[in-house]
Amino acid sequence: MSAKLEIANLNKRFGGLVAVNDVSFNLEPGEVVGLLGPNGSGKTTVMNMISGALACDGGIVRINGTDITKMKPHKVARHGVARTFQLVRPLPTLNVSENVMLALAFGKQRHWGRTAREMAEDKLAFVGLAGRGQEKVGDLTYIDQKRLEMARALASDPDLLLLDEWLAGLNPSELQIGIDLVRHLQDQGMTILLVEHIMEAVRALCSRCIVMSAGEIIAQGACSKVLQEASVIKAYLGDDHA
């Protein structure tokens, strides 16, 4: 259920742009940590390198001590890493239930047939989509697509969950539901890396946060302390406010 994540000296360049520069941090098993930073600071790029979507230009990613730096995404997934995407990516050819069954069929346990259908229904119920497995994903509202995205990530039975602004775009009551859902996973002991702009959610969920700016880590530590540091305020709001 829980995994230890170790990242050391991660680097990524896009042409001349250094998107991630020498980023190192660890997540202890069961920790929920916020990864913050202004737009374009490299948060998604870090997640992409952990999940294998992007190759690293340098550095090491370890999960429970296993080096996964050079692994393809499907291998990383089988090592217990699941993610959601910043822009939801439901699979339109599959119905809601099949979207979840895909991750069940190819996750760590490889469930299929009746078991998989039942487990998909369980995952859907957990995110609040009970009984809606046969619907088309195109007919889902935005929050329901976000729920589906979460159900699919959970279906592979991850030890480390990467949430890329999963709570963004929700209204206040939906946000509360979302926060409760993540807290539930936290209680189950899942290790979670949470990229988030909504401070209310970060404060509610994260014991610790890491702040990036222009590809580098500029602060990390307990949320309450880090969010008051001058460099963090400067990165978010500009020089005048520091």
Partner 1 sequence: MKTSYAFILAGGVLALLATAPVFISDYWTGVLLGMTGYVTLATAWALFSGPTRYVSLATVAFFGVGAYTVAVLNDIMPYPLVLLCAAGIGITMALVVGLSTLRLAGVYFVIFTFGLAELVRQTVSWWEVNVTYTMGRYVFLPFEGRHIYWQLLALAAVTFLISWSIGRSRIGLALKALGDDETVAAHSGVDVTRIKLLLFVISSTIITLVGAIQAPRWTYIEPSIVFNPTVSFMTLIMALLGGAMRLWGPLVGAIPLFLLFEWLSGTFPDHFSIILGLMFILIVFVMPNGVLAKFDSLRKGSKL
Tell me which residues touch partner 1 (CB under 8 A).
51-53, 72-74, 77-78, 82-83, 85, 89, 91-94, 98, 101-103, 105-108, 110, 112, 152, 155-156
Nearer to partner 1, 104 or 232 (CB): 104
92 to 121: interface string for Mg ion, x by CB under 5 A? ------------------------------
Instruction: Identify the bridge partners of residue 230 per DSSP, sorted by sequence position.
Output: none
Minimum distance, C-beta of residue 164 to Mg ion, in the bound complex (Å): 6
Minimum distance, C-beta of residue 180 to partner 1, in the bound complex (Å): 25
Nearer to partner 1, 147 or 152 (CB): 152
Is 49 strand, coil or helix? helix
Residues in contact with Mg ion, counted by CB under 5 A, come to a total of 2
Contact window for Mg ion (CB under 5 A) among 40-48, 56-64, 122-130, 143-151: 40-48
Residues in region 72-131 near ligand ATP by CB under 6 A? 86
Q: How far apart are CA 75 and CA 100, in angstroms?
A: 18
Minimum distance, C-beta of residue 102 to partner 1, in the bound complex (Å): 5
Of 58, 25, 14, residue with least CA distance to 212: 25
Helices 113-127 and 96-106, packing angle to 10 deg:
120
Q: In Å, what is the CA distance from 173 to each residue of 22, 143, 145, 170?
A: 38, 11, 16, 8
- The H-or-E segment that residue 235 falls in is helix 230-237
39 binds, among partner 1, Mg ion, ligand ATP, none (CB under 5 to 8 A by kind): ligand ATP
Q: How far apart are CA 180 and CA 204, in angstroms?
A: 9
Nearer to partner 1, 14 or 112 (CB): 112
Minimum distance, C-beta of residue 182 to Mg ion, in the bound complex (Å): 18
Q: Contact with Mg ion (CB under 5 A): which of 44, 84, 186, 220?
A: 44
Residue for token digits 């991850």? 158
Q: How far apart are CA 145 and CA 138, in angstroms?
A: 9
Of 43, 78, 70, 30, residue with least CA distance to 54: 70
Residue for token digits 């404060």? 203
Q: Contact with ligand ATP (CB under 6 A): which of 5, 7, 10, 19?
A: 19
By the rule CB under 6 A, 42 interacts with ligand ATP: yes
Residue for token digits 């910043």? 86
What the block records as the tokens of 184 is 């539930």
Instruction: Give the binding site for Mg ion (CB under 5 A).
Output: 44, 86
Instruction: Give the binding site for ligand ATP (CB under 6 A).
Output: 14, 17, 19, 37, 39-45, 86
